[in-house]
Amino acid sequence: MIEAENLGMKARKTSRVRCSRLLGLCFLLLIFMPCTGSAQPEDNSNAEDSVKESEEAYLLTLETALTRALQYNRQLINTNDSVTQARYSIELAWSEFDIQILPNSRAGYVGGGSAGTGFSVGGGIDFSKRFTNGTLVSLGPSILKTREHYHTDLRALISQPLLRGFGRDYQLSGVKGAQYKLRTATRSLYLAQIQLVIRTITSLYEVIKSQKSLAISEESYQRISKFYQAAKLKEKIGLSEALDVYRAEIELHHAEDALTSAQDRLQDAEDAVRDILALPLNMEIQVEVPLAYSPSPFELDEAVKLALKNRIEMDQAEDQWRENYRLSVIAKKNLYPELNLVLNYSNCGRDQYFTRSCSRHRESTWGVGFSTATDFDPQGDLIAYEQSLLAIDSAARGVEQTEANLVLEVKKAIRQLQKAHKRIKVQEEQIHTARGELHLSQLKFDRGMANNFDVIQAEKSLRSAEQNYWGALIEHIVGQYQLLAAIGLLTDKPCM
């Protein structure tokens, strides 16, 4: 019955988590739908063909990639196992208050004088239960068979702590500690999910960035190849110098090297996606993600307030302080010695026949008194209590430090987003200028009015501006998700 309830609880929690993820994903898609246009560089059709995946490629959108990552990522599965282990720890802590059944048996030989009973064999079973207020109830029937008699015994005991160990807070300390570990493990799982979402989004856009870089490198290589061929032809007819040919050839080798590097970066980016999503490393993938961007809708003060309200790190820091305070209370109670009020009852019988030993000639005794333990260590307990007070102060400073870290993280995310937005605008203008410079220098070179130095420099400027543009655009798009994560709005927090 308990296992069925646990399975039902896990199923309901899993359903809530999946619904939460889908809602969060829909929220992301609604926020980052195209709302601001941008002057993007023109794509060359031949370059696009070089990075286009086959029809059998596995299509990855934001939704499909995030869904698969949250289900199949290996590191996340390991983190999820720690949550399961924490749940088992709670069950183990509660098991201390279950009925304990301890069977026992004994056999031996006693000789010597009139007290020697010869061979004897016996056994019994003890039932005990500890209650959450510290009360311990024990009941144990037993039987012993000697050479001439049966000895039957029924013993009962009730023990109640009066100093150390008194009260629910003390007795449930193990349970509350296990519950704290579960909350910590759940928050760690949530943070791992957030980090995985950001890693997945970053890796997808890194593939797009690498594809654009490859397309730009191929387009540049084709243009420089034409420059090189044109320089060779013009040299043959005496319209250019040999230096123009050498200059074009050197730049052609640079473009070829840049093309090879772009191909390697694309392969590395795709491999990173396969690793995050636990896909076969030889599987072809095709990434389709939106490339629109929009300015940040959050002001700094508003973003800081949202972060302090929504970030789970604040919950964990405050929970750590409460847990340290609880442990300090327990450590203070440990300063008292152990003193228990004990009530016991015994009913014994002895006879040559087993049945009569259970029903005749039985004697009952009872008693009440106090008991204590000999492992009282006041110095060690006092040191443990002082350490618990230091842990409280440390946790309080941890709350302040966590708050400061979150504020700094939000400020950094907003600055990076603003910087990326400015870079996009600058690179758009730079692309426009570089295209005009390339067109003019190409025209002058074709008419013999200048050498190809200006052409090559303009080509470099255009290639660099286009690369920087796509880098800034991808940085801005990823930065939008990082800002949502920084203010705690990327996905819903787990309910605890």
Confidence of residue 414 (pLDDT cuts 50, 70, 90): very high
- Condensed to tens digits (0 to 9), the pLDDT of residues 283-321 reads 999 999 999 888 878 899 999 999 999 999 999 999 999
d(C-alpha 197, C-alpha 215), whole Å = 27
Answer for the pair 244, 227: CB distance below 8 angstroms, yes or no.
Answer: no
Q: What value does the mean pLDDT take over residues 347-353? A: 84
Q: Is the pLDDT of residue 60 over 60?
A: yes
Q: Is the pLDDT of residue 202 over 90?
A: yes
Decide if domain 58-99+170-337+379-487 falls under CATH 1.25.40.10.
no
Sign of the C-alpha dihedral computed for residues 426, 34, 205 and 492 taken in this order: positive
- Condensed to tens digits (0 to 9), the pLDDT of residues 233-256 reads 877 877 677 787 888 888 889 989
Segments making up each domain of the chain, as ranges: 58-99+170-337+379-487
- Condensed to tens digits (0 to 9), the pLDDT of residues 139-178 reads 999 998 887 788 889 999 999 999 988 999 999 999 999 9
SS (H, E, C) 158-214: EEEECCCCCCHHHHCHHHHHHHHHHHHHHHHHHHHHHHHHHHHHHHHHHHHHHHHHH
Q: What value does the mean pLDDT take over residues 386-391? A: 96
Answer for the pair 368, 392: CB distance below 8 angstroms, yes or no.
Answer: no
